[in-house]
Structure 1
């Protein structure tokens, strides 16, 4: 999306998830704890959609022995990630591009937070398969993104809830209304059932929902051991 190439918009990025994603800080905390279930003290993590660097910083600060590869298509967002990481940047290798840009690994875990909802279903499956190929057997993948029922009435209801949360967080009503119009028209959001089916179709098993915040859902799934 062009928004992620706008330097002024990118500079304000850190404000967005906190105001728009229910429990954003807790989502990052839970993701870190789930990674710690599987990764050794010297584990390596692939972070797809790493622009901004918010989750990379959280992971790095809580696990000083881990190393990371971050991938994002936006050069501006990767600049922000570099700045956000600060002293932790030496432990992170950043790549501009998509999943095919990522090194083959293998990695002990992977995350993809607030990213997959930008990718159409057919490309999303390819992305998930490419993540699967880069993981060691038994490794977890943790994903979280917009995911809500897609029948017209249910879709409208969940988008209104998303807007209500944004307004309650201080976003102007007009901005919140524009946001849900854009999401409805532009984002290839899937239902939770379809999201889980794609994870399984990509080869993952033990798919578990661990996070639900209005229109956002999060899952952990594993490459078979």
Structure 2
């Protein structure tokens, strides 16, 4: 279904939320709004397959409609692994259940979907954890704790895959990449009204940080190795290895 959530003017524009309206058009929304999203999801599965450990848990934290969880399920073959997708949006979890049933093949591992807050989710024996475009929606005060929680739950040799929309310290760089990003959205059929209204709806909900802030947080949590494995415009993805 085509994303037209912000196609008409709103008299009162509330904050962006992962509600039924967004869940119903989410595949189109994210495809047209996140450059490199297909590579991000597919690459997560490939990296997970390389680093997953036997008898461990694979977490997709902020799973939305389960695309990354399904990628983990499809690629990882380590014995005794369990894929767990977590989201606090009931609309997303409800739709994800149906999509995972439709999208799974006989060779894919089952995915356990959990409706809940990733900050309070019990985590243990993780060898792969994914935070794809999720941390940016948490309050700033919860982000260090979330990354440390993942680190503490991760087995030696396990990984965290982190992907975020970022900003940059250099104001000219930040403005340039933001304008190119808007060009990307225009090229994907979004109107000026849609771009402006969604930007306003996200202003007090999503708070991007610089690449340096993310890398400092990963190191402070204890991850010994961090590498950028994907960047498209102002979207970046890291692998952090314990």
Give the TM-score taking structure 2 as reference length: 0.82
Find 1:26's aligned residue among 39, 43, 46: 39
Identify the residue that residue 149 of structure 1 maps to in structure 2.
168
Which is richer in helix? Answer: 1
Structure 2 distance, partners of 1:189, 1:109, is 23
Q: Are positions 1:35 and 2:54 aligned together?
A: no
Residue aligned with 2:207, SS: coil
Q: Are positions 1:202 and 2:221 aligned together?
A: yes
Q: Are positions 1:116 and 2:135 aligned together?
A: yes
Structure 1 distance, partners of 2:24, 2:214, is 31
Distance 1:181 1:158, change over 3 A: farther
Q: Are positions 1:79 and 2:94 aligned together?
A: yes
Identify the residue that residue 7 of structure 2 maps to in structure 1.
none
CA contact (8 A) 2:49 2:72 kept: no
Following superposition, the deviation at residue 152 of structure 1 comes to 4.5
Larger Rg: 2
Partner deviation per Cα, 1:135-187 (whole Å, 9 max, x = no partner): 11110100101112155544333222221111111222221233344445542
Residue correspondences, number? 222
Distance 1:148 1:162, change over 3 A: same
Identify the residue that residue 18 of structure 2 maps to in structure 1.
4
Partner deviation per Cα, 1:47-106 (whole Å, 9 max, x = no partner): 100121111122223336642111111111111211111164982222222224433321
Is the deviation greater in 156-165 or in 30-39?
156-165
CA contact (8 A) 1:95 1:101 kept: no
Partner deviation per Cα, 1:107-151 (whole Å, 9 max, x = no partner): 121111011111233311111011112211110100101112155
Unaligned 5+ runs, structure 2: 1-14
RMSD of aligned residue pairs (Cα, Å) = 2.3
Identify the residue that residue 68 of structure 1 maps to in structure 2.
83
Find 2:30's aligned residue among 5, 17, 30: 17
Unaligned 5+ runs, structure 1: none
Find 2:192's aligned residue among 173, 179, 192: 173
